[in-house]
Homo-oligomer: A and B are copies of this chain.
Amino acid sequence: MTAAKLPTNAFYAQSGGVTAVINTSACGVIETARRHPDRIGKIFAGRNGIIGALAEDLIDTSLESAADVARLRHTPGGAFGSCRYKLKGFDQHRAQYERLIEVFRAHDIGYFFYNGGNDSMDTAWKVSQLSEKLGYPLVCVGIPKTVDNDLPHTDSCPGFGSVAKYVATSIREAGYDVASMARTSTKIFVMEVMGRHAGWITAACGLASEAEGEPPHILLLPEVPFDEARFLARVHECVQRYDYCTIAVSEGLHDAQGNFLSDMGTQDAFGHAQLGGVGQIVAQLIKDRLGYKYHWALADYLQRSARHIASKTDLDQAYALGRAAVELALAGRNAVMPGVVRLADALYRWEVGVADLKEVANVERKMPRDFISDDGFHITDKCRAYLTPLIEGEDYPPYRNGLPDYVRLKNISVPKKLGEFAV
């Protein structure tokens, strides 16, 4: 009589820039997998993404309590560490893939879940080819995540809705502030937001303007080449009419020649090229040409980690896609990614769909032209209809001592069985 085969273990990792809800997907993966002890043994998390697999640096999530796993649902950042690291092709870096198989085999890993954006779905797709190309039996499922909202084959990307809610709320609030100060002080407020290639986050700021004259008055999208004269004329007109002007600008704003405004030869105190800061560049331009006093804000990481004002829709989708990934894996669906399928805008309804990783990898979804107003400075009603459901609903974290009470996992390492590998 032979011993019954143990259930196969799973590998889960987080990749790329983290979000307010990537841990919510992790929670969906772990809680769902734990409900199938007959099929899935332990879930090992890669410490710092795929690097954790290559370096055999695995975290044993089975040592985390159910309560702590549940707290992942409301904890921002990447609980297991993330990475910016893209696997090369099979032919260029066969050794890396052989190492992955070596690690997976050593730890009896049969399921691979990779939670990330465009680059990460490319990595997931490459890993999904292992069984076919190198004969190692593995079911690989991608889980979408990106604040940039630029993955194809999903109506929305977990992480985006919460950033959208944060930036729209923030610019609305700052708008109330600057409107109060305009008579004797600040007339211009500029907020710089993320999204180097696609204007989704900048567009989301536009949701705060629900009626004529409400801030933000101007959006500077990366899809619309910056035209200084037209922009200044619009700012001037806005100040004439409302006494102030509130502007959201994408970090990726560029001119007609494709030059980033953030890269206009500015130097800092130490003589280095100054990166970022397009918000200040635009604000200072207004000051120089029109003479208006300004304030500017750079939300940076605050926007993508603001779990305290996460979107309920976003959280629900992040969890559902983590859960769906496990269910797809259990159904033997290799090389796929669950995504959101929108069923209706107005009384928003959605369901989980499935896309092929090959179709997703390295494809960027741009914002449709008809989401941008004719003058290029705002969003259309069509865009508003798309965006609004994604920021709807509140889901507050618990508080302790006046602050959100987020979890820090124990993150205990799985004992290594193999030798070193240079990542």
Contact = CB atoms under 8 A, between A and B. Distances in A.
Identify the interface centre among A189, A207, A311, A404: most chain B CB within 10 Å of its CB.
A404
B176 A305 contact: yes
Contacts of A284: 268-270, 272
The count of identical subunits is 2
B169 A404 contact: yes
Counting chain A residues whose Cβ lies within 8 A of the other chain, the interface size class is: 35 or more
Interface in A240-274: 264-270, 272, 274
Contacts of A144: none
Contacts of A264: 269
Contacts of A298: 296-298, 300
A256 to B, nearest CB: 18
Nearest to A404: B169
B406 A401 contact: no
A25 interface: no
Identify the interface centre among A174, A297, A402: most chain B CB within 10 Å of its CB.
A402
Contacts of A77: 173, 175-177, 179-180
Contact of A308 (B76, B309, B403): B309
Interface stretch (A132-140, A150-158, A389-397): A389-397
A311 B277 contact: no
A311 B402 contact: yes
Nearest to A52: B183
Interface stretch (A33-41, A78-86, A99-107, A326-334): A78-86
Interface of A: 14, 17-18, 20, 48-49, 51, 75-79, 81-85, 165, 168-170, 172-185, 189, 191, 207-208, 210, 264-270, 272, 274, 276-277, 280-281, 284-285, 288, 295-302, 304-309, 311, 388-394, 396, 399, 401-404, 406
